[in-house]
Structure 1
Amino acid sequence: MQADPLPDWVLTRRRAIGDRIRAARLHANLTQEKVALRAGLDRATYNRIEQGHSSPVLDSLILIADAIGVPLEDLVRQQ
């Protein structure tokens, strides 16, 4: 049985979170490789999260926020 596709607003929100992760990473002057290493993720997985192509589990978001040095809420807040 195939799951229903996600609504467009969910995909838009996922991309916005990825954009905030990227902005925070760049502000901290970190590479994707460095954040992925600090968070215990492979770079490809991290890249998919940052690009909004993958839906991360909460634990991954917590690890990414810690690796970048920002509060989790800075990455997931709605604007």
Structure 2
Amino acid sequence: MPPPSPPPDWVLVKRRKIGDRIRAVRTAARLSQERLAEYAGIDRQAVNKIEMGHSAARVDTLIRIADALDVPLRDLV
């Protein structure tokens, strides 16, 4: 099976926008990446990669992050 091709640029742009929204809500809540990761039950490095747009977050992970930030998922995506 060949490796998956990289996502198109427009997908990467939207991924970064989601990361920007997560970072904005997290900082407004005065949470560190480490604390958000703890509340969401994920790894701090995962939070960093999602916020930077370097990693595509699974829907389950986005749901956990939204819950940890106490915002509706739609506010992040």
TM-score in terms of structure 1 length:
0.92
RMSD: 0.7
Whole-Å separation in 2 of the counterparts to 1:38 and 1:57: 17
Displaced runs of 4 or more, over 2 A: none
Deviation at 1:2, TM superposition (A): 2.1
Q: Deviations over 1:18-72 (max 9, x none)?
A: 0000000011111111100000111011110111100010000000011111110
Q: Which runs of 5+ in 2 are unaligned?
A: none
**Identity across matched positions, percent:** 58
Q: Which runs of 5+ in 1 are unaligned?
A: none
1:26 equivalent to 2:27? Answer yes
